[in-house]
Amino acid sequence: MPAGTILGFDLGGTKSSVSRYDAETWELHVHERLPTQAHRGWDVVLEDVLALIEKVRRPDTIAIGIGIPGLVRQPEGSVVRMPNIPGADDVPLKAIFEKRIGLPVSVDNDANCFTLAEAQRGAGKGHSVVIGITMGTGVGGGIVAEGRVFRGAHGFAGEIGHMLLQPGQPPFATDDKRGDVEQFLSGTAFGKRCSAAKRPEDYLEGEVCSFLQPQVFREIAWMCVSLLHVIDPSIIVFGGSAGKALKPHLSAIEHELRQWALPGTPLPELAIERTQHAATLGAALLTCER
């Protein structure tokens, strides 16, 4: 990578952030945030994002990486679906930003960015196969093998939140009967499950209610066992508000994992994210994959 600076942008449903890094040392120079204003639609969000990028970029900025909460078709870098921002579906994001900014742009799912940051500079550094799982409003996931994001045939690999966990049996009343991981294990789901059990007072944002913990740890183990048997990771890194809240409980989850994994299967290390501003760092690191 030539000398200069690189920007990493994390486009969130409620807030967005940008970081500027030294392209050689990866020293963080600046980090700024802004409200996303998703309710005002994609056109307004786009102009806000461009304005923040112009504020933070410098004459020596050589590339920009962008992470978004949605599906990205590769290698075009076009948004297939971004449900949190009205009007953002089927948007050629990479092409728009390259035309408006005049720099090379890389675009990917935000959970892929998180996983890339943790694989190269965080808890997964030194591991050959890293899975990242972000547990917050929803559940996202990414796979990094030998330092590169694995995206599958169309760019959609790693959608861990939409793996079926208990098909047709969501843990609370809803018209959506998929019973996928996100319905059970997101921070949003934890709150709804406490309310459904008529114990909303037991819920603290991002944390698992104490009375739900045995079942939730078992469900996390089921999720991890499926990933273990299909992908064989050497480490699984949890992030997001609900993911980071699992730190005191990793040994309990590992105990459940041992009960459900095939005998003799090497178990992955379980860890919590370690990088600062993982989403923007990972977005910036995308530019090195070009």
* Strands 78-81, 71-73: pairing kind: antiparallel
Taking the C-alpha atoms of residue 73 and residue 81, their distance in angstroms, rounded to an integer, is: 10
SS3 content of the chain, % helix, strand, coil (to 5): 40, 25, 35
Cβ 71 vs Cβ 81: under 8 Å: yes
Taking the C-alpha atoms of residue 93 and residue 173, their distance in angstroms, rounded to an integer, is: 36
Residue 182 has pLDDT above 90, yes or no: yes
State which amino acid sits at residue 144: V
Q: Best-predicted range by mean pLDDT among 10-14, 167-171, 220-224?
A: 220-224
Q: Give the global pTM.
A: 0.93
Q: Quickly tell me which residue has 């169309």 as its tokens.
A: 154
Domains of the chain, first to last: 5-113+277-289 (3.30.420.40), 125-272 (3.30.420.40)
Taking the C-alpha atoms of residue 51 and residue 35, their distance in angstroms, rounded to an integer, is: 13
Digit-coded pLDDT (tens) for 122-149: 999 999 999 999 998 889 999 999 999 9
Taking the C-alpha atoms of residue 224 and residue 215, their distance in angstroms, rounded to an integer, is: 14
Digit-coded pLDDT (tens) for 225-265: 999 999 999 999 999 988 999 999 999 999 999 999 999 99
